[in-house]
Every structure is written in C-alpha cells, then in structure tokens.
Amino acid sequence: MAFQIRPNRKESENKTIRFPIEVVEKINEAIKGKDVSFSSFVIQAVEYALENMTE
C-alpha cells in the first residue's frame, strides 16, 4: 500500500525528537498546501514504516 497523507488526528502524547534540517525541509515541502501538520505527517510516516517493515 502506498503512503497517503491523512487529515490531522486528535489524540496525542508529547515527545521530543530532533530531525536533520534536510529532513525537516523535505517534510515541509511534502505537506505544503495540504491540511496536515508536521507532527501528523511524521506520525503517519512512522505508522506506515511500522506496518510495512520486514523483519
């Protein structure tokens, strides 16, 4: 299944994480003009990665 950006979610817990500047720039470009926050995109990307991991 291909990764698709979904609207923001409501339930959350705060975590602090550092991203390389290049990754932040790529994420900002990917979400530009879409109804999704930076955090929501990262959550969705991590969920997609977890669901599609090979052991």
User: What pLDDT score was predicted for residue 20?
Assistant: 98
Range of the domain at 47: 21-51
Alpha carbon 46 to its chain centroid, in Å, reads 6
User: What pLDDT score was predicted for residue 4?
Assistant: 78
Q: Is residue 32 part of a domain?
A: yes
Q: Is residue 14 part of a domain?
A: no
What is the mean pLDDT of the segment spanning 6-19?
81
Q: Dihedral, CA atoms, 29, 31, 32, 38, nearest 10 degrees?
A: -90
Range 22-33 burial, b when 16+ CB lie within 10 A, else e: eeeeeeeeebee
User: What pLDDT score was predicted for residue 10?
Assistant: 66
The band of 2, judged by pLDDT with boundaries at 50, 70 and 90, is: confident
Q: Is residue 31 part of a domain?
A: yes
Q: Is residue 35 part of a domain?
A: yes
Q: Is residue 8 part of a domain?
A: no
What is the mean pLDDT of the segment spanning 21-46?
94
Count: domains in the chain: 1
Q: Is residue 6 part of a domain?
A: no
